[in-house]
Amino acid sequence: MNNENTQKGLKSRAATKKLLVRFVTWINVVVYRLSGGRLINKAEGGDICLVTMTGHKSGKQKTIALMYTADGDNVLLVASLGGAPQHPVWYYNLKAQPEIEIQLGAQKRKMLAREASSAERQTLWPKVVASYGSFDAYQKLTTREIPVFVCSPRN
């Protein structure tokens, strides 16, 4: 009985945490949009953009706030999920439907996302770590190679 209550408590806390993360993400997107990117545009020193994508299961448009690194005309996105053992959900969205929109400040750009090859990632990784040092720490927390997406302007 005690173990059953413990399991229920853990599931309840996990569900609460998931709802809280969704709410904070929603607030971040709303404030960023309303302020034209003047507010909530940095986290721990790293730059934040809004990425609008199509859900790979739902087919619905979803917008999330992500850290990014500018690389010329390209935008680099890192699928770190804080060093978790699995990829974030948005990774699968970009793999299934790479046509996205990225908002940097007040500017919205239509872009095409592609996952960098392992060789290309070796060149890009130092750039993303230079813009947000925690990416290196996240990589050390997981056995998976954390993917980097190269998002290029599309016409």
pLDDT digit string, tens, across residues 21-36: 777 778 888 888 888 7
137 has pLDDT over 60: yes
pTM: 0.84
Question: What mean pLDDT value characterizes the chain?
Answer: 89
Using only the alpha carbons of the chain, give its radius of gyration: 17
CATH of span 2-153? 2.30.110.10
119 has pLDDT over 80: yes
Cβ-in-10-Å burial (0-12, 13-18, 19+) of 104 comes to middle
> In sequence order, what are the beta bridge partners of 96?
none
The answer to whether 31 and 39 have CB atoms below 8 angstroms apart is yes
pLDDT digit string, tens, across residues 9-24: 556 777 777 777 777 7
